Amino acid sequence: MKKILLLAASTLLLLASCDDTLDKMPRDKFVNDPAFWNNAKQVESYSNAFYDNYVGYGQAGNYGWFYFKSLSDDQVNPDFDNWEYTSVPGNSSYWSNPFVEIRRANYMLIGLENSTLSEAEKNHFKGVARLNRAWQYYQLVRMYGDVQWYDEVVMDPDPNGSQKELIYQERTDRDVVMDHVLEDLNFAVENITTSGKNSWSVDMAQAMKSDICLYEGTYCKYRTLEDNGKAPDAARANKFLGECVKASEAVMAKGYALNANYGDIYNADDLGANKEVIFFRNYKLNEVMHSTGDYCCSSSPQRGISKDAIDAFLFRDGKPLASTSLDKSDVPERVEYILHDRNGKVIIDEETGKPKVAKDKDGKILYVYSIEKMLSVRDKRLSKLVDPILSLAHHEWERAASGSSMASSTGYTIAKYDNINQDPVDRISIGKNISDAPLWTLPIIYLNYAEAKAELGSINQADLDKSVNLLQARAAVGSITMSPDPDPANKIGVSNLLWEIRRARRCELMTDNWIRYWDLVRWHQLEKLDYAKYPSINRGANVKNAMALDNDIKYNIDEDGYIIVNSASRQYNKKYYFYPIPSSQITLSNGTTKQNPGW
């Protein structure tokens, strides 16, 4: 294995709380001596480097964790999303970057061993290091399966030197690595002493533990020997699911509360006082900014919401598409294009006193296609996720105050990341968005809790009512009962209850944090990303009627009138459950690092 550098150049996150205004030492001035680890402020400054790993909405013009991770059945990239890798790369930051951060954590743990700080202070900082080591190993295991476990630092890079065995060690069994991850998380939960919504806290550690343990528990329950190299392990699954429940309960007891409206956490300038948020990434004008909002309201083609995702949302009677008694139509209505000002208010025509409509250069009234009728009978979250007007070729639509006519791969434009309160110019400028990014929130904990208890078979109606049903009530779709009516769309062999809990998760967290992709992995449902088997994941809005009314609208559509987004085909292969090990790592290890199956 090649030598791993100690520090990587990057920009520290802004920390909102006054307690986090630190005397941050420049990274290039770091000096590793005993005095450094004896100084709490210097150790804290060193540990702040880990914040860079929680990408949130990204930075400047770079992509973040939200919206851009469209390798899923929720979004369709107009440029086509294939699997992350279809051939073995020579190098990959997915492999190398986590090991840089693991080395940073291990270096911190070693430095603290002989520190003169109090035991409580040392254990706090060790908790921070181990929390972040756990996070990095979790990423690696999800992607690669078996990976080398390191709890010490390679100080002698000589392949024939004193640490030869460490350098050339084989990949560690992924179950063993995840056992170490749980040990690290438990240490962090027991020893971190600080608080705050964008600093290391016990609540953030518990939230991370809730997420990781849900993943591990369900992955071990649903994995197969043929596809994952390991058979299901019920005892292991139950152990981790039980740990998820405990971590979730710890957070749920801390006084967090849902906002009245879904979506308020995704486009707010400051999440510091938001009771729904556990941990967030902070942004500030002219200091640290992002582009996620801009990409959702500019003329750049959006990665629109798929028909498959639209069909997942319940109707207001609490029924799915197959059994609702409400209007199922998703055919858009042709309406006059009403103009709005920069503040989102309807412009009134001075002559008629009526809303002003858009006209072309010849004075002909322009029309757009509205899905407001469809949205009015569906889960309220859908109205926050997408716009009420389709953005179609030659019939693009300008969201209030956006200043740009939007386009979408599917016709459905994503609205929930657009901060309408920001300055209109900055709002549609690359690298000028300032809304904070919610990384762990109360809805995530509610969903983790309900799913883990359902998987354990220990859930009851009271558990549902104090968790996922609070989200259902906010979405106006009724409560989940212990015996939901069957949905004909459930063809994957899980109970009706688990089906509905998974649906709630998908709808609540849609386009967030690449959650959907990894949910499909842990449920052993990755084949759902195959276009041939699941064509609705490559479909968009119903435009047959629109194309009949406006002959300048031209799309490739299926027999039912739905947009076919990509002509390319994404085909499932079981090898995609793991990323390929970069070929350079196999070479550098003298063959001790073996390639993943199928690559």
- Structure token digits, residue 77: 């990239």
**Contacting residues for 374 by C-beta, under 8 A, at least 6 apart:** 327, 329, 330, 332
Radius of gyration of the chain (CA): 25
State the pLDDT at residue 31.
58
- Structure token digits, residue 264: 């308020």
Residue 85 exposed, middle or buried by CB count within 10 Å (0-12, 13-18, 19+): middle
Per residue in 228-282, pLDDT tens?
999 999 999 999 999 999 999 999 999 999 999 999 999 999 999 999 999 999 9
**75: part of which helix (H) or strand (E)?**
strand 75-76
Which of 336, 362, 361 is CA-nearest to residue 349? 336
Which of 92, 101, 131, 126 is CA-nearest to residue 4? 101
Give dist(CA 340, CA 435) in Å, integer: 23
- Structure token digits, residue 511: 């386009």
User: How many other C-beta atoms can be found within 10 angstroms of the C-beta atom of residue 277?
Assistant: 23
For 478, the 3-state DSSP assignment is coil
Is the distance from CB of 283 to CB of 434 less than 8 angstroms?
A: yes
For 134, the 3-state DSSP assignment is helix
Angstrom CA distances, 164 to 2, 169, 387, 584, 593, stand at 12, 8, 58, 18, 14
**Residue 594: half-sphere exposure toward Cβ, Cα within 13 Å:** 9
Return the biggest CA–CA distance within the chain.
87
Is the distance from CB of 228 to CB of 575 less than 8 angstroms?
A: no
State the pLDDT at residue 402.
57
SS (HEC) of 525-590:
CHHHHCCCCCHHHHEEEECHHHHHHCCCCCCCECCCCEEECCCCCCCCCHHHHCCCCCHHHHHHCC
For 307, the 3-state DSSP assignment is helix
Is the distance from CB of 306 to CB of 410 less than 8 angstroms?
A: yes
First to last CA, the chain: 20
**Residue 196: half-sphere exposure toward Cβ, Cα within 13 Å:** 16
Per residue in 351-392, pLDDT tens?
888 888 888 888 888 899 999 999 999 999 999 999 999 999
Q: What is the DSSP string of 353-419?
A: SSB-B-B-TTSPBPEEEE-HHHHHTB-HHHHHHB-SB--BTTB-B--TTT-S-B-BSSSPPB-TT--
Is the distance from CB of 368 to CB of 389 less than 8 angstroms?
A: yes
Angstrom CA distances, 405 to 18, 115, 424, 458, stand at 41, 59, 14, 50
- Beta strand 75-76 pairing with 562-564: unpaired
Per residue in 123-164, pLDDT tens?
999 999 999 999 999 999 999 999 999 998 876 566 666 666
- Structure token digits, residue 33: 């001596």
**Contacting residues for 534 by C-beta, under 8 A, at least 6 apart:** 73, 308, 528
Rounded to 5°, the CA angle 151-157-160 comes to 110
Is the distance from CB of 63 to CB of 555 less than 8 angstroms?
A: no
- Beta strand 367-370 pairing with 333-336: antiparallel
Domain residue ranges in the chain: 297-414+534-569
Residue with tokens 């743990």: 109
State the pLDDT at residue 425.
85
223: left (phi over 0), alpha (psi -120 to 50) or beta: beta
- Structure token digits, residue 127: 């908790």
**Cα torsion angle, 526, 528, 533, 537, sign:** negative
Which of 304, 233, 413 is CA-nearest to residue 78? 304
State the pLDDT at residue 160.
65
- Structure token digits, residue 342: 């920069």
pTM: 0.93
- Beta strand 304-305 pairing with 75-76: antiparallel
pLDDT in 10s for each residue of the chain, 599 residues: 333 333 332 323 333 333 332 233 434 445 578 899 999 999 999 999 999 999 999 999 899 999 999 999 999 999 999 999 999 999 999 999 999 999 999 999 999 999 999 999 999 999 999 999 999 999 999 999 999 999 988 765 666 666 666 777 899 999 999 999 999 999 999 999 999 999 899 999 999 999 999 999 999 999 999 999 999 999 999 999 999 999 999 999 999 999 999 999 999 999 999 999 999 999 999 999 999 999 998 888 899 999 999 999 999 999 999 999 999 999 999 999 888 776 668 889 888 888 888 888 888 888 999 999 999 999 999 999 999 999 998 888 888 655 678 889 999 999 999 998 888 888 888 999 999 999 999 999 999 999 999 999 999 999 999 999 999 999 999 999 999 999 999 999 999 999 999 999 999 999 998 899 999 999 999 999 999 999 999 999 999 999 999 988 999 999 999 999 999 999 999 999 999 999 999 998 888 999 999 99
Which of 296, 316, 450, 302 is CA-nearest to residue 378? 316
Rounded to 5°, the CA angle 558-564-568 comes to 120
